[in-house]
Amino acid sequence: MPLQKQGRGSRHPVEFEVTIRYRQRRFPVAFARNLSPEGMYVQTVNLTLPTGTLVEIELDRWGRQWLIPAMVVDSDVRGVGIMFRTPQPELYAQATSASVAVRPPEEGPGVAAICT
């Protein structure tokens, strides 16, 4: 059954680092910006992925390592909309109950090192 983009449902603003895995390559400079049980919007740096691209989202948070099969369902100049292949209610529950969010540096001397 083909995957279809779902409605925006209960999106929750978040700020934490994720890695996008695509064709056995890892793109570590990406930040989740909003999350629902069905997917997330990921801000990327110098990475463009077309709609329909199969990826995996990797993150190490809340005491566990997550590796989530997903698909790009939307793309713009700032990032990509990701739909999980199967809903992730546990991830959503952890993220929405977390009291501390990790913010990426917006500017400054460390950004060049992170982005290269």
The per-residue pLDDT for range 49-82, each reduced to its tens digit, is 999 999 999 999 989 999 999 999 999 999 999 9
Q: What's residue 11's pLDDT? A: 86
Q: What's residue 89's pLDDT? A: 95
Q: What's residue 102's pLDDT? A: 46
Structural domain boundaries in the chain = 12-115
Q: What's residue 20's pLDDT? A: 96
Cβ atoms 62, 51 nearer than 8 A: no
Please state which of the four CATH numbers 2.40.10.220, 3.40.50.170, 2.40.50.140, 2.20.25.90 is assigned to the domain occupying 12-115. 2.40.10.220
Compare 106 and 115 and report the one with higher pLDDT.
106
Burial category of 105 from C-beta neighbours within 10 Å (exposed 0-12, middle 13-18, buried 19 and up): exposed
Question: 6-58, pLDDT tens digit by residue?
Answer: 455 678 999 999 999 999 899 888 999 999 999 999 999 888 899 999 999 99
What tokens appear for 105 in the block? 């540096």
